[in-house]
Structure 1
Amino acid sequence: MSTPAEDLVVTHDETAHRWEGRLDGRVVALADYVPHSDPHDAAHREAIAMVHTEVDPAHENQGLASKVVDAALRDARARGLKVVPACSFVRLHVRRHADEYADVL
């Protein structure tokens, strides 16, 4: 039997500026961002500020927020975006996985 984190489908809703994690088609986790431009970035890459993560209370402590944030960070990397971890959960997550995500910060 699979876990909720294994069944979670993460998609990017560019219009709403967020990544959504869905179980059985229902949003149960999300990570919101705000488009951001960093004039001090030598590469002048576009950036996003990840400002909020949320998990439906019925699905807390199942690793869903981590899965959504991982997907968001990988997607940002693929798009060539720099990430500003403005959300406390995202800050903690990238601190715990510093080697994996240093290139997008």
Structure 2
Amino acid sequence: MTDAFSHNPAKSRYELEVDGRIAFADYQRSGHRLVIPHVEADPALRGTGAAGRLMRQVAQTARSEGMKIVPLCSYASAWLRRNDPEMIA
């Protein structure tokens, strides 16, 4: 299983490609905040940890850009509370 994380500004989302399948996090930028309204993984990726690996990359990207995350998506919110609570705006 190989992961390829990328930013897709045309679709306003971050993507994690795993063996040809995609998990993604939609986003909106608001000042120094990255609003995450939706995270979704291809059905074949569910239960593999792909969405968690995606969120780890999203949090690292936000941190490197000096941003905080506003998680509107319940998955993103739960992941951040468990793994990186200081990134929550």
- TM-score of the two chains, using structure 2 as the length reference: 0.87
Unaligned runs of 5+ in 1: 38-45
Correspondence list, 1:1-105, <5 A:
4=1, 7-24=2-19, 26-37=20-31, 46-97=32-83, 100-103=84-87, 105=89
Contact 1:32 1:53 in 2 (8 A): yes
Q: What secondary structure sits across from 1:34 in the alignment?
A: strand
Q: What secondary structure sits across from 2:10 in the alignment?
A: coil
Amino acid aligned to 2:62: A
Q: Which runs of 4 or more aligned residues in structure 1 lie more than 6 Å from their structure 2 counterparts after TM superposition?
A: none
The superposition leaves residues 51-90 of structure 1 with CA deviations (integer Å, 9 ceiling, x where unpaired) of 1111111121000000001100100110111210111001
Q: What secondary structure sits across from 2:39 in the alignment?
A: strand
Q: Which has the larger radius of gyration?
A: 1
Contact 2:27 2:36 in 1 (8 A): yes
Q: What secondary structure sits across from 1:80 in the alignment?
A: coil
Instruction: For 2:85 and 2:60, locate their aligned partners in 1 and report how far apart those are by CA, in whole Å.
Output: 8
C-alpha RMSD over aligned residues: 1.6
Q: Percent identity?
A: 28
Higher strand share: 2
Instruction: For 2:14 and 2:21, locate their aligned partners in 1 and report how far apart those are by CA, in whole Å.
Output: 10
- TM-score of the two chains, using structure 1 as the length reference: 0.75
Instruction: For 1:50 and 1:36, locate their aligned partners in 2 and report how far apart those are by CA, in whole Å.
Output: 11
